[in-house]
Protein backbone atom coordinates (compact mmCIF):
# COMPACT_ATOMS: atom_id res chain seq x y z
CA UNK A 1 0.00 0.00 0.00
CA UNK A 2 1.45 3.43 -0.90
CA UNK A 3 1.69 6.47 1.48
CA UNK A 4 -1.44 8.16 0.23
CA UNK A 5 -3.46 5.24 1.20
CA UNK A 6 -1.80 5.14 4.74
CA UNK A 7 -3.36 8.46 5.83
CA UNK A 8 -6.84 8.29 7.31
CA UNK A 9 -9.66 9.56 5.21
CA UNK A 10 -11.31 11.15 8.19
CA UNK A 11 -10.43 14.82 8.71
CA UNK A 12 -10.77 14.57 12.44
CA UNK A 13 -8.30 11.79 12.57
CA UNK A 14 -5.91 13.80 10.46
CA UNK A 15 -6.20 16.66 12.89
CA UNK A 16 -5.48 14.31 15.72
CA UNK A 17 -2.41 12.98 13.95
CA UNK A 18 -1.19 16.48 13.23
CA UNK A 19 -1.78 17.54 16.79
CA UNK A 20 0.05 14.45 18.12
CA UNK A 21 2.94 15.10 15.73
CA UNK A 22 3.07 18.76 16.77
CA UNK A 23 2.93 17.81 20.40
CA UNK A 24 5.72 15.29 19.91
CA UNK A 25 7.75 17.91 18.08
CA UNK A 26 7.26 20.39 20.93
CA UNK A 27 8.28 17.79 23.42
CA UNK A 28 11.35 16.98 21.39
CA UNK A 29 12.21 20.66 21.17
CA UNK A 30 11.75 20.99 24.91
CA UNK A 31 13.92 17.95 25.47
CA UNK A 32 16.52 19.39 23.11
CA UNK A 33 16.37 22.74 24.96
CA UNK A 34 16.68 20.99 28.28
CA UNK A 35 19.58 18.91 26.95
CA UNK A 36 21.23 22.07 25.65
CA UNK A 37 20.66 23.80 29.00
CA UNK A 38 22.02 20.79 30.84
CA UNK A 39 25.04 20.73 28.55
CA UNK A 40 25.58 24.44 29.20
CA UNK A 41 25.28 23.92 32.93
CA UNK A 42 27.57 20.92 32.73
CA UNK A 43 30.05 22.98 30.78
CA UNK A 44 29.76 25.81 33.31
CA UNK A 45 30.18 23.34 36.16
CA UNK A 46 33.17 21.87 34.39
CA UNK A 47 34.67 25.33 33.96
CA UNK A 48 34.04 26.11 37.61
CA UNK A 49 35.53 22.77 38.58
CA UNK A 50 38.59 23.48 36.48
CA UNK A 51 38.87 26.91 38.07
CA UNK A 52 38.49 25.40 41.53
CA UNK A 53 41.13 22.81 40.69
CA UNK A 54 43.48 25.52 39.45
CA UNK A 55 42.82 27.61 42.56
CA UNK A 56 43.33 24.55 44.74
CA UNK A 57 46.60 23.73 43.01
CA UNK A 58 47.73 27.34 43.38
CA UNK A 59 46.70 27.30 47.01
CA UNK A 60 48.51 24.01 47.57
CA UNK A 61 51.63 25.45 45.93
CA UNK A 62 51.34 28.59 48.07
CA UNK A 63 50.87 26.54 51.20
CA UNK A 64 53.84 24.38 50.23
CA UNK A 65 55.98 27.49 49.74
CA UNK A 66 54.84 28.91 53.06
CA UNK A 67 55.51 25.56 54.72
CA UNK A 68 59.02 25.44 53.25
CA UNK A 69 59.70 29.01 54.38
CA UNK A 70 58.31 28.21 57.81
CA UNK A 71 60.48 25.11 58.06
CA UNK A 72 63.57 27.08 56.97
CA UNK A 73 62.71 29.88 59.37
CA UNK A 74 62.15 27.38 62.16
CA UNK A 75 65.46 25.73 61.48
CA UNK A 76 67.17 29.12 61.46
CA UNK A 77 65.42 30.03 64.71
CA UNK A 78 66.57 26.73 66.19
CA UNK A 79 70.15 27.55 65.25
CA UNK A 80 69.86 31.07 66.60
CA UNK A 81 68.26 29.74 69.78
CA UNK A 82 71.03 27.21 70.24
CA UNK A 83 73.66 29.89 69.57
CA UNK A 84 71.94 32.22 72.07
CA UNK A 85 71.85 29.47 74.71
CA UNK A 86 75.56 28.80 74.12
CA UNK A 87 76.32 32.50 74.43
CA UNK A 88 74.23 32.77 77.59
CA UNK A 89 76.00 29.75 79.09
CA UNK A 90 79.35 31.34 78.20
CA UNK A 91 78.41 34.59 79.92
CA UNK A 92 77.14 32.74 82.98
CA UNK A 93 80.33 30.74 83.22
CA UNK A 94 82.39 33.91 82.74
CA UNK A 95 80.47 35.74 85.46
CA UNK A 96 79.78 33.00 87.99
CA UNK A 97 81.56 29.80 86.97
CA UNK A 98 85.06 28.42 87.04
CA UNK A 99 87.52 29.60 84.43
CA UNK A 100 89.39 26.30 84.31
CA UNK A 101 88.50 24.11 81.36
CA UNK A 102 88.74 20.84 83.23
CA UNK A 103 86.15 18.39 84.55
CA UNK A 104 86.86 16.88 87.96
CA UNK A 105 86.49 13.11 88.21
CA UNK A 106 86.30 11.24 91.47
CA UNK A 107 88.40 8.25 92.53
CA UNK A 108 87.43 5.26 90.43
CA UNK A 109 84.63 7.16 88.71
CA UNK A 110 84.20 6.60 84.98
CA UNK A 111 83.22 9.22 82.49
CA UNK A 112 79.54 9.97 81.90
CA UNK A 113 79.94 9.08 78.22
CA UNK A 114 81.53 5.98 76.74
CA UNK A 115 84.45 7.85 75.24
CA UNK A 116 87.04 6.31 73.00
CA UNK A 117 90.33 5.45 74.65
CA UNK A 118 93.68 6.74 73.36
CA UNK A 119 95.07 5.26 70.21
CA UNK A 120 95.93 1.67 71.00
CA UNK A 121 99.63 1.02 70.72
CA UNK A 122 101.31 -2.40 70.82
CA UNK A 123 103.13 -3.12 74.03
CA UNK A 124 106.46 -3.39 72.27
CA UNK A 125 106.07 0.05 70.64
CA UNK A 126 106.41 1.97 73.92
CA UNK A 127 109.15 4.55 74.07
CA UNK A 128 112.04 4.14 76.53
CA UNK A 129 110.58 6.95 78.60
CA UNK A 130 107.27 5.08 78.84
CA UNK A 131 109.07 1.93 80.06
CA UNK A 132 110.85 3.93 82.72
CA UNK A 133 107.65 5.62 83.80
CA UNK A 134 105.75 2.32 84.02
CA UNK A 135 107.76 1.34 87.11
CA UNK A 136 107.09 4.58 88.99
CA UNK A 137 104.34 4.56 91.60
CA UNK A 138 102.88 8.00 92.21
CA UNK A 139 101.67 8.62 95.72
CA UNK A 140 98.90 11.08 96.53
CA UNK A 141 100.25 14.56 97.01
CA UNK A 142 99.69 16.37 100.28
CA UNK A 143 100.39 20.06 100.41
CA UNK A 144 102.68 21.07 103.24
CA UNK A 145 103.02 24.70 104.08
CA UNK A 146 106.63 25.65 104.54
CA UNK A 147 107.15 28.14 107.31
CA UNK A 148 108.90 31.14 105.81
CA UNK A 149 111.49 32.64 108.11
CA UNK A 150 112.16 36.36 108.02
CA UNK A 151 115.76 37.41 107.47
CA UNK A 152 116.01 39.83 110.36
CA UNK A 153 119.67 40.61 109.64
CA UNK A 154 118.70 42.53 106.48
CA UNK A 155 116.70 45.05 108.53
CA UNK A 156 117.93 47.88 110.74
CA UNK A 157 118.03 46.66 114.34
CA UNK A 158 116.52 49.01 116.91
CA UNK A 159 116.81 47.63 120.44
CA UNK A 160 114.39 48.54 123.21
CA UNK A 161 115.43 47.50 126.74
CA UNK A 162 112.51 46.89 129.10
CA UNK A 163 114.14 46.52 132.53
CA UNK A 164 112.61 46.28 135.98
CA UNK A 165 112.63 49.31 138.27
CA UNK A 166 115.47 49.28 140.81
CA UNK A 167 113.16 48.58 143.75
CA UNK A 168 111.83 45.44 142.01
CA UNK A 169 115.32 43.99 141.43
CA UNK A 170 115.58 42.91 145.09
CA UNK A 171 114.39 39.51 146.24
CA UNK A 172 111.00 39.60 147.91
CA UNK A 173 112.11 36.91 150.40
CA UNK A 174 115.58 37.91 151.60
CA UNK A 175 115.76 41.45 150.26
CA UNK A 176 119.15 40.92 148.54
CA UNK A 177 119.71 42.11 144.89
CA UNK A 178 118.77 39.53 142.27
CA UNK A 179 121.23 38.42 139.56
CA UNK A 180 120.50 38.75 135.83
CA UNK A 181 120.35 35.19 134.53
CA UNK A 182 119.12 35.77 130.96
CA UNK A 183 116.69 37.68 128.79
CA UNK A 184 113.63 37.17 126.62
CA UNK A 185 113.85 38.57 123.09
CA UNK A 186 110.71 39.36 121.10
CA UNK A 187 110.96 40.70 117.56
CA UNK A 188 108.38 43.04 116.10
CA UNK A 189 108.09 44.38 112.55
CA UNK A 190 107.32 48.07 112.33
CA UNK A 191 106.75 50.28 109.29
CA UNK A 192 108.10 53.77 108.87
CA UNK A 193 106.36 55.62 106.04
CA UNK A 194 108.55 56.45 103.07
CA UNK A 195 109.84 59.98 103.01
CA UNK A 196 111.35 62.31 100.47
CA UNK A 197 114.75 63.83 101.15
CA UNK A 198 116.18 67.06 99.80
CA UNK A 199 119.77 66.41 98.75
CA UNK A 200 121.59 69.74 98.61
CA UNK A 201 124.74 69.56 96.50
CA UNK A 202 127.22 72.25 97.52
CA UNK A 203 130.12 72.75 95.12
CA UNK A 204 132.72 75.23 96.35
CA UNK A 205 134.13 77.44 93.62
CA UNK A 206 137.80 78.35 93.43
CA UNK A 207 139.52 81.13 91.50
CA UNK A 208 142.94 82.78 91.48
CA UNK A 209 142.73 86.42 92.51
CA UNK A 210 146.02 87.15 90.77
CA UNK A 211 145.65 85.38 87.40
CA UNK A 212 141.90 85.63 87.10
CA UNK A 213 141.83 82.86 84.47
CA UNK A 214 138.58 81.18 85.50
CA UNK A 215 136.64 79.45 88.22
CA UNK A 216 137.05 75.78 89.18
CA UNK A 217 134.41 73.63 90.86
CA UNK A 218 133.62 69.93 91.29
CA UNK A 219 131.34 68.42 88.62
CA UNK A 220 127.67 68.00 89.45
CA UNK A 221 126.68 64.37 90.13
CA UNK A 222 124.80 62.67 87.32
CA UNK A 223 121.03 63.03 87.35
CA UNK A 224 118.64 61.04 85.13
CA UNK A 225 116.75 64.12 83.93
CA UNK A 226 118.97 67.05 82.90
CA UNK A 227 117.89 70.19 84.67
CA UNK A 228 115.24 68.32 86.67
CA UNK A 229 114.82 68.08 90.40
CA UNK A 230 114.18 64.33 90.49
CA UNK A 231 116.90 61.98 91.62
CA UNK A 232 117.27 58.45 90.24
CA UNK A 233 115.47 56.92 93.21
CA UNK A 234 112.40 59.13 92.78
CA UNK A 235 112.19 58.56 89.01
CA UNK A 236 112.57 54.82 89.60
CA UNK A 237 109.74 54.91 92.13
CA UNK A 238 107.43 56.60 89.61
CA UNK A 239 108.28 54.16 86.81
CA UNK A 240 107.95 51.07 89.00
CA UNK A 241 104.73 52.38 90.51
CA UNK A 242 103.17 53.01 87.09
CA UNK A 243 104.38 50.02 85.06
CA UNK A 244 105.00 47.34 87.70
CA UNK A 245 102.59 48.17 90.53
CA UNK A 246 100.00 49.46 88.01
CA UNK A 247 99.33 52.74 89.78
CA UNK A 248 97.96 55.62 87.71
CA UNK A 249 99.88 58.88 88.01
CA UNK A 250 97.12 60.62 89.93
CA UNK A 251 97.54 58.05 92.72
CA UNK A 252 101.29 58.53 92.66
CA UNK A 253 100.63 62.24 92.90
CA UNK A 254 98.65 61.65 96.11
CA UNK A 255 101.26 59.24 97.46
CA UNK A 256 104.09 61.75 96.95
CA UNK A 257 101.92 64.40 98.61
CA UNK A 258 101.57 62.06 101.58
CA UNK A 259 105.36 61.80 101.63
CA UNK A 260 105.62 65.57 101.94
CA UNK A 261 105.88 67.13 98.45
CA UNK A 262 103.17 67.90 95.91
CA UNK A 263 104.33 67.18 92.33
CA UNK A 264 101.99 67.75 89.43
CA UNK A 265 100.97 64.90 87.16
CA UNK A 266 102.31 66.74 84.14
CA UNK A 267 105.75 66.73 85.77
CA UNK A 268 105.49 63.00 86.47
CA UNK A 269 104.55 62.46 82.80
CA UNK A 270 107.68 64.35 81.75
CA UNK A 271 109.81 62.12 83.97
CA UNK A 272 108.29 59.02 82.41
CA UNK A 273 108.94 60.45 78.94
CA UNK A 274 112.62 61.17 79.65
CA UNK A 275 113.11 57.73 81.20
CA UNK A 276 111.59 55.99 78.14
CA UNK A 277 113.91 57.91 75.82
CA UNK A 278 116.85 56.95 78.03
CA UNK A 279 115.91 53.25 77.96
CA UNK A 280 115.38 53.15 74.17
CA UNK A 281 118.87 51.74 73.29
CA UNK A 282 118.44 48.85 75.72
CA UNK A 283 114.94 48.22 74.31
CA UNK A 284 116.29 48.10 70.75
CA UNK A 285 119.00 45.64 71.80
CA UNK A 286 116.42 43.28 73.29
CA UNK A 287 114.32 43.63 70.15
CA UNK A 288 117.29 42.64 67.95
CA UNK A 289 118.10 39.65 70.15
CA UNK A 290 114.49 38.45 70.14
CA UNK A 291 114.41 38.51 66.34
CA UNK A 292 117.53 36.33 66.24
CA UNK A 293 115.68 33.45 67.92
CA UNK A 294 114.07 30.65 65.95
CA UNK A 295 111.01 30.13 68.20
CA UNK A 296 108.74 32.97 69.29
CA UNK A 297 105.42 33.46 71.08
CA UNK A 298 103.20 36.48 70.42
CA UNK A 299 99.83 37.91 71.41
CA UNK A 300 98.14 41.31 71.59
CA UNK A 301 95.69 43.29 73.70
CA UNK A 302 93.86 46.56 73.14
CA UNK A 303 94.20 49.86 74.99
CA UNK A 304 92.24 53.11 74.75
CA UNK A 305 94.28 56.05 73.45
CA UNK A 306 93.22 59.67 73.89
CA UNK A 307 94.38 62.84 72.16
CA UNK A 308 93.40 62.04 68.58
CA UNK A 309 91.66 64.78 66.55
CA UNK A 310 88.80 62.32 65.97
CA UNK A 311 88.61 61.46 69.67
CA UNK A 312 89.75 58.29 71.40
CA UNK A 313 90.67 55.12 69.51
CA UNK A 314 91.81 51.57 70.25
CA UNK A 315 95.55 51.01 70.11
CA UNK A 316 97.26 47.64 70.44
CA UNK A 317 100.05 46.33 72.63
CA UNK A 318 101.89 43.31 71.19
CA UNK A 319 104.26 41.08 73.11
CA UNK A 320 107.02 38.96 71.56
CA UNK A 321 108.64 36.32 73.77
CA UNK A 322 111.53 33.94 73.16
CA UNK A 323 113.40 31.32 75.21
CA UNK A 324 116.70 31.24 73.35
CA UNK A 325 117.03 34.93 74.16
CA UNK A 326 115.17 35.20 77.50
CA UNK A 327 113.40 38.49 76.89
CA UNK A 328 109.82 39.74 76.54
CA UNK A 329 109.54 42.69 74.17
CA UNK A 330 106.47 44.90 73.76
CA UNK A 331 105.42 46.84 70.71
CA UNK A 332 102.67 49.43 70.22
CA UNK A 333 100.56 50.07 67.12
CA UNK A 334 97.65 52.38 66.48
CA UNK A 335 95.47 49.57 65.08
CA UNK A 336 95.20 45.79 64.90
CA UNK A 337 96.08 45.59 61.25
CA UNK A 338 98.66 43.15 59.90
CA UNK A 339 101.15 46.00 59.38
CA UNK A 340 102.07 45.95 63.08
CA UNK A 341 103.39 42.37 63.37
CA UNK A 342 104.65 42.43 59.77
CA UNK A 343 106.83 45.44 60.56
CA UNK A 344 108.14 44.07 63.85
CA UNK A 345 108.89 40.57 62.49
CA UNK A 346 110.98 41.74 59.54
CA UNK A 347 114.09 39.58 59.51
CA UNK A 348 112.65 36.87 61.76
CA UNK A 349 112.85 33.26 60.57
CA UNK A 350 111.45 30.33 62.50
CA UNK A 351 108.33 29.18 64.35
CA UNK A 352 105.78 31.72 65.54
CA UNK A 353 103.20 30.71 68.17
CA UNK A 354 100.08 32.82 67.65
CA UNK A 355 96.30 32.69 67.76
CA UNK A 356 94.08 32.53 64.68
CA UNK A 357 94.13 36.30 64.10
CA UNK A 358 93.73 36.90 60.36
CA UNK A 359 96.38 39.62 60.40
CA UNK A 360 99.08 36.94 60.63
CA UNK A 361 97.88 35.17 57.47
CA UNK A 362 99.70 37.52 55.15
CA UNK A 363 102.93 36.76 57.03
CA UNK A 364 102.48 32.99 56.97
CA UNK A 365 101.28 32.81 53.36
CA UNK A 366 103.96 35.07 51.92
CA UNK A 367 106.09 33.04 49.53
CA UNK A 368 109.24 34.84 50.69
CA UNK A 369 108.47 34.46 54.40
CA UNK A 370 110.49 32.01 56.50
CA UNK A 371 107.96 32.07 59.36
CA UNK A 372 105.92 28.96 60.16
CA UNK A 373 102.69 29.18 62.12
CA UNK A 374 102.18 27.20 65.33
CA UNK A 375 98.55 27.38 66.48
CA UNK A 376 97.25 27.24 70.04
CA UNK A 377 95.44 24.17 71.35
CA UNK A 378 94.16 26.15 74.34
CA UNK A 379 92.05 28.26 71.96
CA UNK A 380 90.71 25.12 70.25
CA UNK A 381 89.95 23.47 73.60
CA UNK A 382 88.10 26.56 74.79
CA UNK A 383 85.74 26.42 71.81
CA UNK A 384 84.91 22.74 72.40
CA UNK A 385 84.41 23.49 76.08
CA UNK A 386 81.81 26.13 75.13
CA UNK A 387 79.93 23.45 73.15
CA UNK A 388 79.50 21.05 76.10
CA UNK A 389 75.98 22.20 76.95
CA UNK A 390 74.59 21.83 73.41
CA UNK A 391 76.56 18.78 72.17
CA UNK A 392 77.76 17.00 75.34
CA UNK A 393 78.71 13.67 73.76
CA UNK A 394 80.74 15.10 70.89
CA UNK A 395 82.32 17.94 72.91
CA UNK A 396 83.37 15.62 75.75
CA UNK A 397 84.97 13.26 73.25
CA UNK A 398 87.05 16.07 71.79
CA UNK A 399 87.96 17.39 75.25
CA UNK A 400 89.05 13.91 76.31
CA UNK A 401 91.46 13.62 73.39
CA UNK A 402 92.78 17.13 73.99
CA UNK A 403 93.30 16.22 77.66
CA UNK A 404 95.38 13.25 76.54
CA UNK A 405 97.55 15.58 74.44
CA UNK A 406 98.11 17.85 77.45
CA UNK A 407 98.91 14.87 79.68
CA UNK A 408 101.62 13.85 77.26
CA UNK A 409 103.05 17.37 77.31
CA UNK A 410 103.03 17.40 81.09
CA UNK A 411 104.90 14.08 81.21
CA UNK A 412 107.55 15.40 78.86
CA UNK A 413 107.94 18.81 80.52
CA UNK A 414 111.36 18.05 82.03
CA UNK A 415 112.61 15.93 79.12
CA UNK A 416 115.13 16.91 76.52
CA UNK A 417 114.06 18.43 73.22
CA UNK A 418 114.74 15.22 71.26
CA UNK A 419 112.96 13.00 73.80
CA UNK A 420 109.93 15.29 73.76
CA UNK A 421 109.77 15.19 69.95
CA UNK A 422 110.05 11.39 70.02
CA UNK A 423 107.19 11.10 72.51
CA UNK A 424 104.98 13.30 70.36
CA UNK A 425 105.74 11.19 67.30
CA UNK A 426 104.84 7.93 69.09
CA UNK A 427 101.85 9.01 71.19
CA UNK A 428 100.56 12.47 70.23
CA UNK A 429 100.25 11.86 66.49
CA UNK A 430 97.77 8.93 66.85
CA UNK A 431 95.53 11.08 69.06
CA UNK A 432 95.75 13.92 66.55
CA UNK A 433 94.75 11.51 63.77
CA UNK A 434 91.62 10.59 65.72
CA UNK A 435 90.72 14.23 66.29
CA UNK A 436 91.15 14.96 62.58
CA UNK A 437 88.94 12.04 61.53
CA UNK A 438 86.24 12.84 64.07
CA UNK A 439 86.22 16.51 63.01
CA UNK A 440 85.68 15.48 59.41
CA UNK A 441 82.80 13.25 60.54
CA UNK A 442 81.15 15.99 62.61
CA UNK A 443 81.45 18.80 60.07
CA UNK A 444 78.51 17.83 57.78
CA UNK A 445 76.03 16.88 60.51
CA UNK A 446 76.13 19.71 63.04
CA UNK A 447 74.09 22.91 62.87
CA UNK A 448 76.13 25.54 61.01
CA UNK A 449 75.63 28.24 63.64
CA UNK A 450 76.09 26.00 66.67
CA UNK A 451 79.01 26.29 69.04
CA UNK A 452 80.23 22.82 68.07
CA UNK A 453 80.25 23.80 64.38
CA UNK A 454 82.34 26.85 65.26
CA UNK A 455 84.76 24.68 67.23
CA UNK A 456 85.06 22.10 64.46
CA UNK A 457 85.50 24.79 61.80
CA UNK A 458 88.19 26.50 63.88
CA UNK A 459 90.11 23.24 64.35
CA UNK A 460 89.88 22.21 60.68
CA UNK A 461 90.90 25.64 59.40
CA UNK A 462 93.95 25.67 61.71
CA UNK A 463 94.73 21.97 61.49
CA UNK A 464 98.20 22.09 59.95
CA UNK A 465 99.26 24.77 62.42
CA UNK A 466 97.73 22.82 65.31
CA UNK A 467 99.80 19.74 64.41
CA UNK A 468 103.05 21.61 63.85
CA UNK A 469 104.12 21.54 67.50
CA UNK A 470 104.95 17.83 67.09
CA UNK A 471 107.72 18.66 64.59
CA UNK A 472 110.14 20.21 67.09
CA UNK A 473 110.60 19.54 70.79
CA UNK A 474 111.20 23.24 71.47
CA UNK A 475 107.64 24.13 70.47
CA UNK A 476 104.75 24.20 72.93
CA UNK A 477 101.22 22.89 72.56
CA UNK A 478 99.66 26.30 73.23
CA UNK A 479 100.37 30.02 73.36
CA UNK A 480 99.66 30.46 77.06
CA UNK A 481 103.06 31.96 77.84
CA UNK A 482 102.26 35.11 75.86
CA UNK A 483 98.77 35.33 77.36
CA UNK A 484 100.25 35.15 80.85
CA UNK A 485 102.68 37.92 79.97
CA UNK A 486 99.90 40.14 78.62
CA UNK A 487 97.93 39.59 81.82
CA UNK A 488 100.18 42.13 83.56
CA UNK A 489 99.34 44.63 80.83
CA UNK A 490 95.63 43.96 81.34
CA UNK A 491 95.93 44.53 85.09
CA UNK A 492 97.60 47.88 84.46
CA UNK A 493 94.96 48.86 81.92
CA UNK A 494 92.21 48.25 84.48
CA UNK A 495 93.92 50.78 86.76
CA UNK A 496 95.23 53.57 84.54
CA UNK A 497 92.46 52.95 81.94
CA UNK A 498 94.01 54.72 78.93
CA UNK A 499 97.06 56.31 77.32
CA UNK A 500 97.02 60.10 77.19
CA UNK A 501 98.29 60.42 73.62
CA UNK A 502 99.44 58.40 70.65
CA UNK A 503 103.08 59.27 71.41
CA UNK A 504 102.69 57.68 74.86
CA UNK A 505 102.17 54.23 73.29
CA UNK A 506 105.76 53.57 72.13
CA UNK A 507 107.12 55.00 75.39
CA UNK A 508 104.87 52.67 77.38
CA UNK A 509 106.08 49.73 75.24
CA UNK A 510 109.70 50.56 76.12
CA UNK A 511 109.04 50.80 79.85
CA UNK A 512 106.84 47.69 79.86
CA UNK A 513 109.69 45.78 78.20
CA UNK A 514 112.16 46.88 80.89
CA UNK A 515 109.81 45.96 83.74
CA UNK A 516 108.80 42.67 82.04
CA UNK A 517 112.47 41.65 81.96
CA UNK A 518 112.79 42.39 85.68
CA UNK A 519 109.66 40.39 86.47
CA UNK A 520 110.66 37.47 84.29
CA UNK A 521 114.05 37.12 86.00
CA UNK A 522 112.70 37.85 89.51
CA UNK A 523 114.69 41.07 89.88
CA UNK A 524 113.74 43.69 92.44
CA UNK A 525 112.50 46.31 89.94
CA UNK A 526 113.42 49.48 91.81
CA UNK A 527 117.10 48.53 92.12
CA UNK A 528 117.23 47.47 88.47
CA UNK A 529 115.58 50.61 87.10
CA UNK A 530 117.70 52.91 89.28
CA UNK A 531 120.92 51.29 88.13
CA UNK A 532 119.84 51.55 84.48
CA UNK A 533 118.99 55.23 84.89
CA UNK A 534 122.42 56.03 86.30
CA UNK A 535 124.37 54.01 83.76
CA UNK A 536 122.45 55.05 80.67
CA UNK A 537 122.51 58.71 81.66
CA UNK A 538 126.29 58.41 82.00
CA UNK A 539 126.42 57.11 78.38
CA UNK A 540 127.54 53.66 79.47
CA UNK A 541 127.92 51.67 76.24
CA UNK A 542 127.98 48.24 77.90
CA UNK A 543 124.35 47.52 77.08
CA UNK A 544 124.84 43.74 77.19
CA UNK A 545 125.61 43.98 80.90
CA UNK A 546 122.26 45.74 81.45
CA UNK A 547 120.19 42.95 79.92
CA UNK A 548 117.95 41.52 82.64
CA UNK A 549 119.39 37.99 82.65
CA UNK A 550 123.01 39.21 82.80
CA UNK A 551 122.22 41.93 85.31
CA UNK A 552 120.51 39.35 87.54
CA UNK A 553 123.59 37.08 87.37
CA UNK A 554 125.83 40.01 88.37
CA UNK A 555 123.55 41.19 91.21
CA UNK A 556 122.33 38.12 93.13
CA UNK A 557 121.49 40.31 96.12
CA UNK A 558 118.70 41.96 94.06
CA UNK A 559 116.95 38.67 93.23
CA UNK A 560 113.53 38.15 94.82
CA UNK A 561 114.35 34.75 96.28
CA UNK A 562 110.89 34.28 97.77
CA UNK A 563 109.38 34.54 94.27
CA UNK A 564 111.80 31.95 92.95
CA UNK A 565 111.01 29.58 95.81
CA UNK A 566 107.31 30.14 95.37
CA UNK A 567 107.46 29.42 91.61
CA UNK A 568 109.51 26.27 92.10
CA UNK A 569 107.33 24.87 94.85
CA UNK A 570 104.18 25.64 92.87
CA UNK A 571 105.61 23.88 89.81
CA UNK A 572 106.49 20.83 91.91
CA UNK A 573 103.00 20.69 93.42
CA UNK A 574 101.36 21.06 90.02
CA UNK A 575 103.41 18.29 88.43
CA UNK A 576 102.79 15.98 91.39
CA UNK A 577 99.05 16.65 91.27
CA UNK A 578 98.89 15.98 87.54
CA UNK A 579 100.99 12.82 87.85
CA UNK A 580 98.64 11.55 90.57
CA UNK A 581 95.63 12.34 88.39
CA UNK A 582 97.14 10.42 85.46
CA UNK A 583 97.95 7.43 87.65
CA UNK A 584 94.41 7.43 89.07
CA UNK A 585 92.91 7.34 85.56
CA UNK A 586 95.11 4.40 84.61
pLDDT at res. 131: 44
pLDDT at res. 106: 46
pLDDT at res. 551: 96
Q: How many CB atoms lie within 10 A of CB 17?
A: 12
| CB of 509 closer than 8 Å to CB of 342 | no
Strand 311-321 relative to strand 328-333, pairing: antiparallel
The gap between the terminal CA atoms of the chain, to the nearest Å, is: 127
Distance CA(58)–CA(425), nearest Å, equals 65
pLDDT at res. 108: 45
Distance CA(290)–CA(326), nearest Å, equals 8
Residue 4, helix vs strand vs coil: coil
| CB of 319 closer than 8 Å to CB of 300 | yes
What are the φ/ψ torsions at residue 99 (nearest 5 degrees)?
-85, -20
pLDDT at res. 296: 95
Q: How many CB atoms lie within 10 A of CB 76?
A: 13
Residue 471 has what DSSP assignment? G
pLDDT at res. 147: 59
Distance CA(317)–CA(514), nearest Å, equals 15
Q: How far is CA 409 from CA 180, 298, 299, 385, 478, in A?
A: 65, 20, 22, 20, 10
pLDDT at res. 389: 82
Distance CA(557)–CA(153), nearest Å, equals 14
Distance CA(259)–CA(196), nearest Å, equals 6
| CB of 251 closer than 8 Å to CB of 259 | no
pLDDT at res. 179: 84
Per-residue model confidence as pLDDT tens digits over 516-565: 999 999 999 999 999 999 999 888 889 999 999 999 999 999 999 888 88
Per-residue model confidence as pLDDT tens digits over 210-267: 887 788 888 887 777 877 888 899 999 999 999 999 999 999 999 999 888 899 999 9
- From 379, 397, 381, 372, select the one nearest 470 (Cα to Cα): 372
* Mean pLDDT (the chain, rounded): 85
What are the φ/ψ torsions at residue 94 (nearest 5 degrees)?
-65, -35
The residues, any chain, with a CB within 8 Å of residue 550's CB and separated by 6 or more, are: 544
Residue 102 has what DSSP assignment? -
Distance CA(397)–CA(401), nearest Å, equals 6
The residues, any chain, with a CB within 8 Å of residue 356's CB and separated by 6 or more, are: 375, 376, 379, 458, 461, 462
pLDDT at res. 133: 47
What are the φ/ψ torsions at residue 400 (nearest 5 degrees)?
-65, -45
Angle of the 377-386 helix axis to the 11-96 helix axis, nearest 10: 130
Angle of the 11-96 helix axis to the 451-461 helix axis, nearest 10: 70
- Total residues found in the chain within this entry: 586
Residue 177 has what DSSP assignment? B
- The predicted model scores a pTM of 0.77
Residues pairing with 302 in the sheet? 316
Residues of the chain with pLDDT under 50: 1, 106-110, 118-126, 128, 130-139, 141
Residues pairing with 205 in the sheet? 217
pLDDT at res. 168: 83
Distance CA(393)–CA(362), nearest Å, equals 37
Per-residue model confidence as pLDDT tens digits over 262-286: 999 999 999 999 999 999 999 999 9
Q: How far is CA 585 from CA 301, 431, 496, in A?
A: 38, 17, 46
* Extents of the domains making up the chain: 21-87, 237-365+485-519, 377-471
Amino acid sequence: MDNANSLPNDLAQCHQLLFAAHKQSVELEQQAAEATQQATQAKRHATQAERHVAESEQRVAELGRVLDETAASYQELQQEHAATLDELAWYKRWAFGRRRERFTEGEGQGHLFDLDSPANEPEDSATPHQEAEAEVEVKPHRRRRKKREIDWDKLPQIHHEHDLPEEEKNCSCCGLPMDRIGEDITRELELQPAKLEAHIHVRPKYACRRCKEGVSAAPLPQRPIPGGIAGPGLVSEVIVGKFSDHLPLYRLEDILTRYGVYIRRSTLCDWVKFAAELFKPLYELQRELVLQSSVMWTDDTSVTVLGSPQGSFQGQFWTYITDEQPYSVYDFTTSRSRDGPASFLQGFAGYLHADAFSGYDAIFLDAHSAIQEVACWAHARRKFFDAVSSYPREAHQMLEWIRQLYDLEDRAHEWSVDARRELRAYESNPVLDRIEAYSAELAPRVLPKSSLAKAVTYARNQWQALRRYTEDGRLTIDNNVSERTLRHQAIGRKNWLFLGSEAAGPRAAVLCTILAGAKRHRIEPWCYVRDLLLRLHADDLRLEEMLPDRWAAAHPEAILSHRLDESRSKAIRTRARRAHRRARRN
